[in-house]
Amino acid sequence: MSNKKKSGRFDELIDAARSRQNRDELQVDSEKSSRKTKSTDPNYVRTTFYLPKSVHRRLKAVAVSQERQMSDIVTELLEQWLSNTD
């Protein structure tokens, strides 16, 4: 008797799923590496300020519902405010 394992349909399906998963992971990794984040973009600076917890919760809820980043909303509002103070 041979110890050689026969390749069945199940094995072929497992191999296909693994190769698809590897391909998808490579594609996601290459997309991530080509994107520039705010933390690595020289046009951005990190800053810290204090907000009341209730305001932070509301801001976060709005950002999630609009699928936006909180920093983008704050930037938009600050730009509006600054243009009105000129």
Contact 75, 86 (CB under 8 A): no
Integer-rounded Cα Rg, in Å, for the chain is 25
Going from N- to C-terminal start, the domains of the chain cover 7-36, 41-86
Determine the pLDDT at residue 21. Answer: 80
Q: Which residue has the tokens 């041979």?
A: 2
Mean pLDDT of 17-22: 82
The CATH number, out of the four listed (3.20.20.140, 3.40.640.10, 3.40.50.150, 1.10.1220.10), of the domain defined by the range 41-86: 1.10.1220.10
Phi, psi (rounded to 5 degrees) for 41: -85, 125
Q: How confident is the model over 6-15, as pLDDT tens digits?
A: 567 788 888 8
Round to whole Å and give the CA distance between 72 and 76: 6
Task: Give this prediction's pTM.
Answer: 0.57
